[in-house]
Structure 1
Amino acid sequence: MLILLLPFFFIIAISAQSNNSTYPNCPSYNCGNVTIRYPFWNTVSESTTQFCGYEGFGINCSDNGRQNIPEINFGGDSYYVQSINYELGTIFLVDYDVSPVATDRSNCPRMRHNINLGTLPFNFSMFSVNLSFHFDCNGCPSFATEIPCLEHNDRKVCLDVMNNGTDESVWDAYSCDQKVVTTVIGENMNSVPNLSTGFGRVLEEGFELRWWEVDDCDRCEASDGRCGYRNAMEFVCF
């Protein structure tokens, strides 16, 4: 009988710990000007084998010699975390290569990859605008903006604001070698009088993502808990 009752007492103890409003297993951290707290977590203080927060929401806090830099990684690419608004559920990110904290920052940055969110519970905000960079083209269509500083061997680089409803087949005539799509906040484009020379400033302002509640976490959070993972796969409710 005692052996049968032990699991019952264990579950009660765990439940009592979950009701602790300070969440000792889910601490908050400061990295630069950004507070890292649930559903995000610090990859340095917590490990990839056990953490409190959403899977894929780990933020690395690194030191570039001048300041602490919060970075998040998805799709194999790093993004500088500008700010997080926990009340609105939004996070502002900048591709690290074009961010103001990059050591090799350039006034004429070259976008090298798309933004790949995979299955992470993020959505782009309603204020987002997609920018399409077409590299090594034999010319630029009239609706696109030519980027002279990125030209190479007389091959053009063209920038297209993708919410203009352009048919992508139009680009076939320009024999471009590569296309990279990124996202920016639309209103930031209004502050740049000339996109061909000021596109770097728009990229540096970054983009906004909104996150939603993960399905596995709804019951945990409804019971005043915080969800996490152990051994990368095992779900835990703190």
Structure 2
Amino acid sequence: MSHHIYPLSHYLLLLLPLFFIIVLSAEINNSTCPSYTCGNVTIRYPFWKMDTESPTQFCGYEGFEIKCSDNGEQHNISEITLGGDNYYVQCINYDDKSMLVADYDVSSAVPGPKICPRVNHNISLGTLPLNLSTYSVNLSFHFNCSGCPSFATEIPCLDNNGRKSCLGTSTEETEEWDGYSCYEEVVTAVIDEHKKKSSNFQVDFGSVLEKGFGLQWGRTDECEKCEESDGRCGNHSTTGHICFCSDGTISKNECGGTFIITTLKFQFYPCLSILV
């Protein structure tokens, strides 16, 4: 029987995968996919709380981070950033996967009355798995116009040096506004029922904006295998997507897949705020 003697480099190559797993395990901290309370809003999967969970590793969806802030007068204000703009999170309903948000600049999170609020940006959801809820409707603000069409509502307090500010819905075609030489258009959203109940929308549109609008979320493609295997999707700066499993392990893509590390717990709490 012949015996083969391999060089030391050969054995080192065999040990490299094990070395990689050990190093990777050292870099990834154990996580409990925790839940937090910010005011009357519960923050839990697929959302995660900034300043508590590290941006290098978190349990939740990318782009679903919520900041719990203090504006000087109100404490524990939940904020989410969508398309680079801040929104005040009023409620998260985990049963129907919906959330109630308002543009931060015109929300109740900003102290003072909203007599004539100015919406400054469109709603930009990018590639996030978010859609406008069925009980919300788009509104289009048209600023610095030569006049307002008959189907639109003029907002006198936003007029500027004789130029009109008009409020319409997203159903009007762009061509219908062409004759009014508007300098700027901003599309936002409100809850349809609140708009319908407004008796004088020209004056109290600010209170309707303040009540916000609804968004619903769906599953991301990257998290499909993980969630179908009873896991919770997360991210790590070194490995990318990771899967937190209910048995305490962390896998690369799905529970029962490539093992990374152990020890997890899950906590689930109902939404503490309701849509009014």
Alpha-carbon offset, residue 191 of structure 1? 1.8
Secondary structure of the corresponding residue to residue 59 of structure 1: strand
Q: How does 1:213-228 map to 2 (within 5 A)?
A: 213-228=219-234
Partner of 2:63: 56
Alpha-carbon offset, residue 232 of structure 1? 7.5
Alpha-carbon offset, residue 221 of structure 1? 1.5
Paired positions, count: 225
Distance 1:232 1:189 in 2: 47
Alpha-carbon offset, residue 222 of structure 1? 2.0
Secondary structure of the corresponding residue to residue 231 of structure 2: coil
Distance 1:72 1:144 in 2: 31
Q: How does 1:201-212 map to 2 (within 5 A)?
A: 201-212=207-218
Distance 1:232 1:167 in 2: 47
2:180 aligned with 1:174: yes
Alpha-carbon offset, residue 185 of structure 1? 1.3
- Report the AA paired with residue 100 of structure 1: S
Report the identity percentage: 56
- Report the AA paired with residue 31 of structure 1: C
Distance 1:72 1:59 in 2: 5
User: Over aligned residues, Cα RMSD in angstroms?
Assistant: 2.4
Distance 2:238 2:119 in 1: 32
Distance 2:114 2:157 in 1: 11
Partner of 1:186: 192
Q: How does 1:2-81 map to 2 (within 5 A)?
A: 24-65=31-72, 66-81=74-89
2:161 aligned with 1:153: yes
- Report the AA paired with residue 127 of structure 1: Y
Secondary structure of the corresponding residue to residue 220 of structure 1: helix
Alpha-carbon offset, residue 219 of structure 1? 1.6
Distance 1:125 1:172 in 2: 29
Q: Given that residues 99 and 105 in structure 1 are in contact (C-alpha distance below 8 angstroms), is that contact kept between their aligned partners in structure 2?
A: no
- Report the AA paired with residue 195 of structure 1: F
- Report the AA paired with residue 155 of structure 1: R
Alpha-carbon offset, residue 198 of structure 1? 1.3
What 5-or-longer segments of structure 2 have no aligned partner? 1-10, 245-276
Secondary structure of the corresponding residue to residue 184 of structure 1: strand
The 3 A distance-change label for structure 1 pair 105 and 44 is farther
2:206 aligned with 1:200: yes
Distance 1:232 1:85 in 2: 32
Partner of 1:20: none
Distance 1:233 1:204 in 2: 40
Alpha-carbon offset, residue 171 of structure 1? 1.1
Give the ranges of 4+ consecutive aligned residues of structure 1 lying more than 6 Å apart after TM superposition: none
Secondary structure of the corresponding residue to residue 97 of structure 1: helix
Distance 2:239 2:190 in 1: 33
Q: Given that residues 31 and 59 in structure 2 are in contact (C-alpha distance below 8 angstroms), is that contact kept between their aligned partners in structure 1?
A: no
Deviations 1:173-219 (A, max 9, x none): 11111000111111111221011111111111111111111112122
TM-score, normalised by the number of residues in structure 2: 0.76
2:128 aligned with 1:131: no
What 5-or-longer segments of structure 1 have no aligned partner? 15-22
Secondary structure of the corresponding residue to residue 221 of structure 1: helix
